[in-house]
Amino acid sequence: MISIFINAVLALPLVAAYSMFALGIVVIYRASRVLNLAHGAMATVPAYIAYSLVNAGLPVAVAFLFAIAAGVALGGAVGFLVLMPLRKESETTQTVGTVAVLGVLISLVALVWGTSPLAAPNIFPAGRIDVGQTGLEYGDIGLAVVAALVAVAFSALFKFTGFGLAMRGAAENNQAARLMGINPIATTAVAWAIGGGLAATAGVLLAGVTNLHPYTLSRQVLPAFVAALIGGFGSLSGALLGAAVVGLAQGIISSVGPLAGQRGSAELVLAVIALVVMATRGKKLVGVSGTVTTSRSAAPRKRAPLSKMVRLVIWLVATPALLFWPFLPVADSIRGDANVAAIFVIVGVSLVMLTGWVGQISLAQASFVGVSAFVTALLVNSFNIPFPLNLPLAAGAAGLSAVALGMVALRVRGLYLAVATLIFGWMADAYLFKASWLVGEGGSATIKGRLIGREGNFPSFDLTDRRSFWFVALAGAVLALAAAANLRDGKVGRSFFAVRVSELAAASMGINVTRTKLLAFGVSGLLAGIAGNLIMVDQRTATPDQFAFTASLFFLSIAVVGGLTRLSGIVAAAIGFGVLEEVFYRVPTLGGYRDIVSSVLLLAAVLIAPIRSARSKSPKKLSTDVPTPLAPEPTATRIMPPKSTGGPLLELDKVTVRFGGLVASDDVSLAVGESQIVGLIGPNGAGKTTAFNVVSGFVTPMSGAVRLFGTDVTAMPVHERTALGVGRTFQVLQMFPDVTV
């Protein structure tokens, strides 16, 4: 018990830092409804500025103030230059924009200051207060005091000042705020500046009691997202409570209990807490999504005969070129880059399917790739299962990991899903890829090269030879593209597009939303797993750094630059990034620019061709962008004509629905017989829509029963009721722009 108390006291600086980080995240979110995933970079850059100013001879206090000012300016710049142009786009587009900013800023820091740990200046004097066998440094205590003052100041700002109330009003209802004379753009800009200042303050103080490292310091902000999540993202007091929970848990778990001493144990527990919170708070079905699609439809399009001929010519030229070019006298590095590009195609296709077609944004794709790579090494070294026999097993492990994460996606999407995948990737990086049972004792996994067949005989493949491996990688890329195209053009693809636009409407059309989402996660993870297996077989060595968050950012860059919904665009983007790999290799001075180039390309793609929501499409674009009619295959279970029961076809029996303390429908009973038309008449708020939702399954009554054709369907899900013959429309029309009638 004493040990727990001591570790709780020692966790005080963590609680303080997370509280300031979480406050900044919440302030920005409340003002702009944007989840600022660049918050870690906005803490890291000012910390390095303070370090440089102190080394240049400025007093520590002056450097601290300059660093805070830099954070304010940086937050305002990100809000004005990146988020302002995207303010009319979907929340997902804005979130991806902050991901790109994170990549650009962290890559710049690594380029300018390097990636070696640096001793940051301590803002407070040296000294400590003993606690048990250790103690709290004055810097830790100062960090806690500053955090407490900041929390009090911001609580007062939003509760008692006119400006704070204006910010709250603009966040709650943008249109109403304008009518009250509030400028939402100005309040949003100020919120971004405040968020940047909070991030800078916490970053400089935290670096002073730890050390400076671009990736480590930026990742130390991730627990603050868990804290903000616990508080609901919109509550300052909730964020402070969440920071206390996260900081204390991280301080205690890593030192006390069965997980004590295990690397990443705190991250594992916090990730589980975050995912459980999302799963319990989320909604089963979501209406019109502001999620990923583009200004063009992702579904198949009507093609002119000439385009078919052109495609035939391209295939006739491309097929022999792809098969025979490795035998040309080219540098071996080019063959290696071609192999890498083929693997990029597979990962890109996995993101197109999950994010582009189903609208489930993933910031953990590199984690699935890494799971497969390390499982491949485990299968080879511990069980002597060679390639290609280990391919389905390793890919299956990645697919199962993706399905496990997808279980959370059954109740969240958009911003919350981005946080879920971000936290999963953080956990994998901190715990899973540090575990000796998966990675090995040395911190990396290695396998021996392999010859398939007998040397000198045909066919035989030396997998250590890049020319031979090209055909393996090419086969993987072609199979991934073919499988994705087959899914896209059939019943499954139509279900994907429908779920992306509106889960409610998809369910009302008989689509099993749960199964569709899990299928998308599973197939996406499986494809990422194929890529991970091929990476391990090709490179024969894998390290955890290859699958860190920056790698997920790189893969997302390929997908977004390629158009996110287009398989052909993914191929072009993968080739382009493969060419960049060769350029970086050929020009040593460009070696450190890989991450920044990919991040800049991602940012440019988001700003130039935003990831649009289906809701933002104009009727003109819809009318000129007509998908090809597909075969009349139903998207749901085939509807069977109901058998005559002699009684009502539809019956509500004493149905009562409550939303909290509000009684929406009170003891409602009605019956609809064969050939009858029954109307519900009543004023707004009488419960008419609630009654329809009860009939179709979107709302479960507190009491009473619903019977269709004599069968009690009160507990039956929406898509199964649709299969029985129930159809409905919505007051706010829910359309599917990417599929035909």
Model confidence at 626: pLDDT above 50 = no
User: Which pLDDT band holds residue 350 (cuts at 50, 70, 90)?
Assistant: very high
User: Which pLDDT band holds residue 526 (cuts at 50, 70, 90)?
Assistant: very high
Model confidence at 302: pLDDT above 70 = no
Model confidence at 635: pLDDT above 70 = no
Give mean pLDDT, residues 515-521. 91
Give the per-residue pLDDT at 395: 95
Model confidence at 630: pLDDT above 50 = no
Query: CA 94, CA 86: separation in Å to the nearest integer?
Result: 6
User: Which pLDDT band holds residue 474 (cuts at 50, 70, 90)?
Assistant: very high
Give mean pLDDT, residues 463-490. 89
Contacts 24+ apart (CB under 8 A), 432-438: 432/264, 432/367, 432/370, 432/371, 433/370, 433/374, 433/544, 433/547, 434/263, 434/264, 434/544, 435/263, 435/264, 438/374, 438/375, 438/378
Give mean pLDDT, residues 54-68. 92
Phi and psi at 446, nearest 5°, equal -140, 140
Model confidence at 600: pLDDT above 50 = yes
Give mean pLDDT, residues 281-304. 49
Give the per-residue pLDDT at 133: 67
Give the per-residue pLDDT at 299: 46
Transcribe 227-246 into DSSP letters.
HHHHTTSS-HHHHHHHHHHH
Name, of 472-486, 658-672, 704-718, the range with top average pLDDT. 472-486
Q: What is the mean pLDDT of the chain?
A: 81
Give mean pLDDT, residues 100-113. 90
Give the per-residue pLDDT at 565: 83
Determine the distance from the C-alpha atom of residue 662 to the mean position of all C-alpha atoms in its chain, rounded to a whole number: 35
Helices assigned H by DSSP within 431-561: 436-439, 466-488, 491-501, 503-508, 513-539, 549-561
Give mean pLDDT, residues 371-392. 92
Model confidence at 292: pLDDT above 70 = no
Model confidence at 545: pLDDT above 70 = yes
Give the per-residue pLDDT at 307: 64
Percent of the chain with pLDDT over 90: 20
143 or 737: which carries more pLDDT confidence? 143
Model confidence at 645: pLDDT above 60 = no
Model confidence at 53: pLDDT above 90 = yes
Q: What is the pLDDT of residues 146-187, one digit of tens each?
A: 888 888 888 888 788 887 788 777 767 777 878 888 887 888
User: Which pLDDT band holds residue 392 (cuts at 50, 70, 90)?
Assistant: very high
Model confidence at 19: pLDDT above 70 = yes
Model confidence at 519: pLDDT above 90 = yes
Phi and psi at 506, nearest 5°, equal -60, -45
Give mean pLDDT, residues 316-345. 83
Give the per-residue pLDDT at 297: 44
Model confidence at 144: pLDDT above 90 = no
Give the per-residue pLDDT at 643: 58
Of the listed ranges 98-112, 303-317, 318-332, the one predicted with least confidence: 303-317
Residue 461 belongs to what H/E stretch? strand 461-462
**Which of 236, 196, 530, 553 shows the shortest CA–CA distance to 373?**
530
Residues found in the chain: 741
Give the per-residue pLDDT at 497: 87
Give mean pLDDT, residues 314-329. 76
Cβ atoms of 658 and 690 within 8 Å: the answer is no
By DSSP bridging, strand 541-542 and strand 650-659 are unpaired
Give the per-residue pLDDT at 303: 46
Give mean pLDDT, residues 524-541. 94
**Which of 189, 211, 191 shows the shortest CA–CA distance to 199?**
191
User: Which pLDDT band holds residue 311 (cuts at 50, 70, 90)?
Assistant: low
Name, of 234-248, 260-274, 403-417, 473-487, the range with top average pLDDT. 473-487
Model confidence at 738: pLDDT above 60 = yes
Give mean pLDDT, residues 18-47. 88
DSSP 82: I
- Measured over the CA atoms of residue 540, residue 538, residue 106 and residue 171, the dihedral's sign is negative
Give the per-residue pLDDT at 320: 76
Query: CA 613, CA 616: separation in Å to the nearest integer?
Result: 5
Burial per residue of 149-171, b for 16 or more beta-carbon CB atoms within 10 angstroms, e otherwise: ebbeebeebbeeeeebebbbbbb
**Which of 112, 34, 47, 49 shows the shortest CA–CA distance to 80?**
34
The amino acid occupying position 736 is: F
Percent of the chain with pLDDT over 70: 85
148 or 134: which carries more pLDDT confidence? 148
Structure tokens belonging to residue 166: 């204006």
Of the listed ranges 90-94, 457-461, 677-681, the one predicted with least confidence: 457-461
User: Which pLDDT band holds residue 610 (cuts at 50, 70, 90)?
Assistant: low
Model confidence at 404: pLDDT above 70 = yes
Give the per-residue pLDDT at 312: 67
Cβ atoms of 200 and 67 within 8 Å: the answer is yes
Give the per-residue pLDDT at 399: 95
User: CB under 8 Å to 209, separation ≥6 — which residues?
Assistant: 13, 122, 137, 139, 140, 143
Structure tokens belonging to residue 212: 């400076």
Query: CA 200, CA 113: separation in Å to the nearest integer?
Result: 17
Give the per-residue pLDDT at 132: 66
Is residue 385 exposed (0-12), middle (13-18) or buried (19+ Cβ within 10 Å)? middle
Give the per-residue pLDDT at 346: 96
Q: What is the pLDDT of residues 482-506, one digit of tens each?
A: 999 998 888 888 888 888 888 888 8
Give mean pLDDT, residues 704-714. 88
Give mean pLDDT, residues 521-536. 95
The SS3 of residue 285 is coil
DSSP 620: H
Give the per-residue pLDDT at 620: 36
Of the listed ranges 349-363, 425-439, 636-650, the one predicted with least confidence: 636-650
Give the per-residue pLDDT at 616: 37
Of the listed ranges 128-142, 198-212, 517-531, the one predicted with least confidence: 128-142
